[in-house]
Structure 1
Amino acid sequence: MIKTQRAPQELITSGKPEFGHFDGIVKQLAVDKFQYFSEMDTPRSGLAKHFAYKQFQFIAITTPRYMIGVALADIRYVGSSFCYVYDIKANKLVEHNFLRPLGLGYTMTDSPYSGRSSIAGGKVAFVIEDGLWQLTLNMKHIQADLRLTPLALSLPMAVCTPTGYSGWTYTQKHNGLKVSGTLTIEHEPQPLNQALGGYDFSAGFMRRETSWRWASINGRIADKIIGLNLAAGVNETGSNENVFWVDGERHLLGAVHFEFERHNRDSDWRVFSDDGRVDLQFMPHNCRKEKLNLVLLKSNFRQYIGTFSGTITDTKGCEHQISNVLGLTEDHFAKW
């Protein structure tokens, strides 16, 4: 059993973050109170601290007909966003991308409990109120005003871990959320009675070169709503961010491995744990990819849409069969 603790009001106290898994949402990261040191134990300048801090936010929405992925990222030198709409039956992906330099034309809240993040004059916007997320989109192919609501008593996964020599990463995720509001795709209003969603809030002083593998589900099996988040590469210093939700109940999992052929985008993935509690196969159907090589900054990003099959055993020992459930995987390298 993974030990959890009550979420602090502020993550940084006495110049250092509080590490571990939290029950609830940290209201303020209090980044301004963090005492940032170099690898040689000398205080870093305010400018160095500013540019070392990174954050990104992501929302995924799944309906019977479409999957939608929306991201906002601030790596200080540049702000970026993407929004894609994936037509499940047609296996067709349409995307919009935005890039803004040096804090111009975008805003990001550094509170996982409240605030607004937006880009391109509000064409993409995330609003967090009392820990609840809203998404608004206003683009050619898609318009949305959506609210993500947890099932009763459902807790997010919230964890802070040491990163590199003197950094830290706070990650908060919640999947298997109900979706309400309005959604129009290609001028056609979409029903939301079966829609599910999830969000990701990640921020901190990450490694200069960072890579991760990731898997995510917002779906249904039998009469249950499930959410899944599995990752390897970032939050693995004493804790991890792996979690499985069943009808809103949170089950924290152990470490997992990702096996796939990076240079063959059509190859299947295997995601599994040494203890046998996670044993999944993933078949990719489509991919949103982007490569940026700006010398000092690099990003090699691939997010796959496909189906999962296999088994997950929750913390009560109940085995859940997963069969052709739509979800995401990701393989990403960043130099920032």
Structure 2
Amino acid sequence: MRDSPEDSLPAAPRQIPERDGQARFGRFAGAAASIDWSRLAAPYARSALWRRFHHKRWQYIALATEELFCGLAIVDLGWTNTAFAYAFDRRLRKEVAAYSQNGLPGLSARVAQHPGQGSAFHWLGNRIVHEVHDGQRHRLALHCGAFRIEAEFLAAGCAPLLLAVGPVCGGSVHATQKSPGMPLTGKVQAGQRTYDLQGGVASFDYSNGLLARETAWQWASAHNRELGFNLQSGYFGDQENALWLDGRLIPLGTAHFEHDAADPLAPWHIRTDDGLLDLRFQPEGARREDKNLLIAASRYVQPVGSFSGWVKSSSDAAPRTVTRLVGVTEDHFSRW
């Protein structure tokens, strides 16, 4: 009998924390309907002032086709906010459109309390809007000068979301929702060039936590409709490591990233210590951004490219070959 999509992980709690103020730690299948860190009880509770400076939320969305990769994010740091978006032409091996803007606290960005509410960024006529209808249908609109995106993607009929909840060193607690690959339609305009997203795949990463003043991670993500993964090494340990395979959501062990930090466009090797994933990543190009805001700073590089190798659903399963699966890696440090 084929396993049901949610048999590998327990169902997600509806609210975080739960009624007693405790956050249930672990990896879950499905979505939380509420994340409210003001309700945390001891030992993870923090004052309102502490939360003001340590509460971080972001919504990241990836759109991938054989021709184009788009990545965009709306980030609320509490005391400020920012947004970025880019379009990378995989055949030309270069960025063909980009937008990046810091905003005003409480005015230019809205990152929802949970991923089912959508997020938005507005600045001087430029806008990025992510809407979610009935928890299933996602609509993304970006209008930033000659860079425009009109896209829709649908969660219905896909594998379950991953919800990961856990403590973070130097901070308090964190929750993140990661999606599988979802069918994509729409258009991207980059100057005079228009790209068709029909037949592509969308995925998203929604994160909401009380994080340390300095936070660093390495990350990898790639998806098609049958297979995808999310891997992270850094501030959140192995909490969010997962494989989506044929409708199943499978937890993965600790991820090891082997790469040349001085040359992120050199090949990467990524594996998990449970023997379920071993991949080589070949970058095609990268988005980079370094910011120094005196009291805050970030160093960020996100190579775009393809993954090849193999994954397994269990230790005794036959390896599934992965061939040129489009996605990204990331090396990120923030002082925020």
- What residue identity is the alignment partner of 1:141? A
Q: What is aligned with 1:235?
A: 236
Q: Secondary structure at the match of 2:52?
A: helix
Deviation, 1:70, is 0.7
- Indicate conservation of the 8 Å contact 1:154/1:249, yes or no: yes
Distance 1:288 1:2 in 2: 37
Q: Is the 8 A contact 2:8 2:248 kept in 1?
A: no
Residue in 2 that maps onto 1:118: 121
State the partner residue of 1:197.
Answer: 202
Gap runs ≥5 in structure 2: 1-5
**Aligned residue pairs, count:** 326
TM alignment of 1:118-137, pairs within 5 A:
118-120=121-123, 123-132=127-136, 133-137=138-142
TM-score scaled to structure 2, two decimals? 0.89
* Structure 1 equivalent of residue 320 of structure 2: 320
Question: Is it true that 1:158 corresponds to 2:163 in the alignment?
Answer: yes
d(CA) in 2 for partners of 1:328, 1:262: 15
SS in structure 2 at match of 1:175: coil
Aligned to 2:109: 106
Identity of aligned residues (%): 27
Q: Partners in 2 of 1:290 and 1:321 — Cα distance? A: 33
Q: Is 1:176–1:248's contact at 8 Å kept on the other side of the alignment? A: no
Measured after TM superposition, the shift of residue 318 of structure 1 is: 3.5
Secondary structure of 1:49's partner? helix
CA pair 183-291 structure 1, distance change in 2 beyond 3 A: closer
Secondary structure of 2:103's match? Answer: strand
Cα deviation 1:252-300 (Å, max 9, x = unaligned): 2111100111012332111012232211111212111111122321101
Is 2:217 aligned against 1:212?
A: yes
Q: Where do residues 163-202 of structure 1 align in structure 2 (5 Å cutoff)?
A: 163-164=168-169, 167-202=172-207
Q: Which residue of structure 2 lines up, in the alignment, with residue 226 of structure 1?
A: 227
**2:60, 2:72 within 8 Å by CA — same for their partners in 1?**
yes
Listed one character per residue, the Cα deviations across residues 110-150 of structure 1 (whole Å, up to 9, x for unaligned) are 12222433332561111233433321111233322322223
Cα 1:210–1:166 shift into 2, 3 Å? closer
Query: Residues 214 and 36 from structure 1, CA distance in 2 versus in 1: closer, same or farther, beyond 3 angstroms?
Result: same
Contact 1:163/1:234 (<8 A) preserved = yes
User: Counterpart amino acid of 1:210?
Assistant: T
Partner of 1:334: 334
CA contact (8 A) 1:3 1:21 kept: no
Question: Residue 148 of structure 1 corresponds to which residue in structure 2?
Answer: 153
Matches of 1:44 and 1:192 in 2, distance apart? 44
Q: 1:37: how far off?
A: 6.8
The answer to whether the aligner puts 1:77 opposite 2:79 as a matched pair is: yes
Q: Distance in 2 between matches of 1:150 and 1:127?
A: 13
Q: CA deviation at 1:105?
A: 1.7
- Residues 252 and 274 of structure 2 are in contact (CA less than 8 Å); yes or no, is this contact kept in structure 1? no
Report the equivalent of 1:28: 34
- The CA deviation string for residues 86-124 of structure 1, in whole angstroms up to 9 with x for no partner, is 011111103111111322322221122224333325611
Q: How far, CA to CA, are the matches of 1:263 and 1:199 in structure 2?
A: 28
Alignment-derived partner of residue 18 in structure 1: 24
- The residue aligned with 2:3 is none
Structure 1: runs of 5+ lacking an equivalent: none
